[in-house]
Amino acid sequence: MMATATIRSGGPQRREGRLPLLLLMWLVGGLLSMVHFVDAYAADVFANDGLHDPQGPAFMELQRPAEALAVLPADTAGNKVLWVKALRDGLIKPRTNIMPETKIQILDMDIIFSNTGDNDFVRFPHRAHTEWLDCANCHEEIFKTKFGATPIKMSAILEGKFCGKCHGAVAFPLSECARCHSVKPASFRGQFGVQPVEKK
Amino acid sequence: MCNPLKKNKKQFSSLWSVLGIVLILMPFPSAMAEYADVILNKNAEKEGMRPVIYPHWFHRIRFRCKVCHHELGFKMQVGGNDITMANILDGKYCGMCHNDEVAWGLEHCHRCHSGLPGLPTSIKGGDKAGGPGDY
């Protein structure tokens, strides 16, 4: 109340005089924001991601994601990288093992799931997965080694089980329905489950 | 006293200040944590160190999942491994690589202990999570 009264008593002249002041504030504000803009610190994703502490002594030693990821094939979700493509095109060469005796297994076998309600069928590619993962990452703990033996439900996936163990945590997120539900029932010919390996 | 023109002018100038404030604040990007970053903070903060940030994106460029989650035996469960500094110094978990051989050694405390105080052990992700932004 007091503040309002003071301003009122200032009269029209004082109020007029505030316009240049505000203009000045605006200019200074604009200038300041330009300074912020060139200041790498303010534009730094780590400075206000709610995760990194800018006071940390090694804050500037850490690599920012864009520097490494921007050169990889772009995606719209998750890390915004098409990881399968990045690997196949040889743009990244992640090690398969550290110990020389470890056995590396890749399996080329697609499985088509059909209990998808009104949604398109799901194609699960073993190859894309075993390029990253070992069989033991999925068998037998998450999935039985027999088509149809695991009671997979979308509700459980959304709770972080089955495919949702990785998708939604590290692999592309569950918002990307069509990437799993990728087979149109109308155009699908053949048997569900294990698909014959395509010949090139 | 209740001149409608004057009142308009006052609204006009407050519009200027609002614009000024918006301009000042605009360049601060409200960035998001990178997808799949893991925070490990069972004991770190209790014992006077910042929480640990483990970035999946950084490591998966260099190692396939199977290296950590099969060869080295990390369970795929945030908080599901007994990762302590003592174990790491014994050459387990992060210490299997951060040993001056596969990767830089454990003297660089703050590269791992880089998180904001107060963060719980968790993973940044979820089906709606975005990435680092525009690139």
pLDDT digits (tens, 9 = 90+) for B1-45: 455 455 555 555 666 666 656 555 554 445 789 999 999 999 999
Of chain B residues 16-35, which have a CB less than 8 A from chain A?
A: 16-17, 19-21, 23-24, 26-35
User: Is there a single domain that holds both residue A79 and residue A45?
Assistant: no
Q: Give yes or no for A62 touching B (CB within 8 A).
A: yes
User: Is there a single domain that holds both residue A120 and residue A134?
Assistant: yes
Domain presence at residue A199? no
In a 10 Å sphere around its CB, with 0-12 CB exposed, 13-18 middle and 19+ buried, how is residue A1 labelled? exposed
| Gap from A145 CA to chain B (nearest CA, Å) | 18
User: Is there a single domain that holds both residue A77 and residue A62?
Assistant: no
User: Is there a single domain that holds both residue A98 and residue A183?
Assistant: yes
- B110, A58 Cβ separation under 8 angstroms: yes
Amino acid code (one letter) for A180: C
- B23, B120 Cβ separation under 8 angstroms: no
Q: Is the pLDDT of residue B121 over 70?
A: yes
Q: How many CB atoms lie within 10 A of CB A32?
A: 14
Q: Angle CA(B74)–CA(A59)–CA(B77) in degrees, nearest 5?
A: 20
User: Is there a single domain that holds both residue A107 and residue A187?
Assistant: yes
In a 10 Å sphere around its CB, with 0-12 CB exposed, 13-18 middle and 19+ buried, how is residue A138 labelled? buried
Domain presence at residue A42? yes
User: Is there a single domain that holds both residue A123 and residue A60?
Assistant: no
ipTM of this complex: 0.78
Q: Give the rounded distance of the alpha carbon of B52 from its chain centre.
A: 9
Q: Which two tokens stand for residue A112?
A: 């088509």
Q: Which two tokens stand for residue B14?
A: 């407050």
Q: Do B16 and A137 touch (CB under 8 A)?
A: no
- A63, B58 Cβ separation under 8 angstroms: yes
> Is the CA virtual torsion A34, A40, A45, A49 positive or negative?
negative
CATH number at residue A108: 3.90.10.10
Domain presence at residue A62? yes
User: Is there a single domain that holds both residue A118 and residue A171?
Assistant: yes
Q: Which two tokens stand for residue B38?
A: 């893991």
pLDDT value of position A27: 83
pLDDT value of position B68: 98
Helices (H), strands (E): how many in chain A? 8, 3
Q: Domain ends where: A28, A46, A66?
A: A66
| Gap from B107 CA to chain A (nearest CA, Å) | 12
Domain presence at residue A200? no
Of chain B residues 93-112, which have a CB less than 8 A from chain A?
A: 96-97, 102, 108-111
Q: How many CB atoms lie within 10 A of CB A130?
A: 20
Rounded distance between C-alpha atoms, residue B10 and residue B20, angstroms: 15
User: Is there a single domain that holds both residue A108 and residue A32?
Assistant: no
Q: Give yes or no for A97 touching B (CB within 8 A).
A: yes
User: Is there a single domain that holds both residue A175 and residue A95?
Assistant: yes
User: Is there a single domain that holds both residue A58 and residue A78?
Assistant: no
What percent of chain B lies above the pLDDT cut of 90?
67
* Parent domain of A33: 2-66
Q: Which two tokens stand for residue A10?
A: 């200032």
Domain presence at residue A189? yes
Domain presence at residue A12? yes
In chain A, residues with a C-beta closer than 8 Å to the C-beta of B129 are 77-78, 173
pTM tops 0.90, yes or no = no
Q: Domain ends where: A49, A66, A83?
A: A66
Q: Give yes or no for A24 touching B (CB within 8 A).
A: no
Q: Do B114 and A19 touch (CB under 8 A)?
A: no
User: Is there a single domain that holds both residue A27 and residue A85?
Assistant: no
- What confidence tens digit (pLDDT) does each residue in B75-100 have? 999 999 999 999 999 999 999 999 99
In chain A, residues with a C-beta closer than 8 Å to the C-beta of B73 are none
Residue A12 host element (H or E): helix A11-38
- A80, A73 Cβ separation under 8 angstroms: no
Domain presence at residue A113? yes
Q: Give the rounded distance of the alpha carbon of B114 from its chain centre.
A: 8
- A184, A120 Cβ separation under 8 angstroms: yes
pLDDT value of position A26: 81
For residue A52, give the nearest of B65, B115, B128 by CB distance: B115
Rounded distance between C-alpha atoms, residue B65 and residue A170, angstroms: 10
Q: Which domains does chain B have, with CATH numbers?
A: 32-134 (3.90.10.10)
Closest CA to B53 of B33, B69, B75: B33
Phi, psi of B87, rounded to the nearest 5 degrees: -60, -40
Rounded distance between C-alpha atoms, residue A111 and residue A123, angstroms: 6
For residue B133, give the nearest of A45, A52, A57 by CB distance: A45
pLDDT value of position A196: 87
Q: What is the mean pLDDT of each run of 10 residues along chain A (200 residues)?
A: 45 62 80 58 83 97 96 95 98 96 95 96 98 97 96 93 95 95 93 81
Instruction: Count up the domains in chain A and report the number.
Output: 2
Q: Which two tokens stand for residue A140?
A: 């037998």
Q: Domain ends where: A51, A66, A81?
A: A66
Q: Do A70 and B135 touch (CB under 8 A)?
A: yes
Q: Give yes or no for A179 touching B (CB within 8 A).
A: no
Domain presence at residue A21? yes
Q: Do A78 and B35 touch (CB under 8 A)?
A: yes
User: Is there a single domain that holds both residue A173 and residue A112?
Assistant: yes
Q: Give yes or no for A195 touching B (CB within 8 A).
A: no
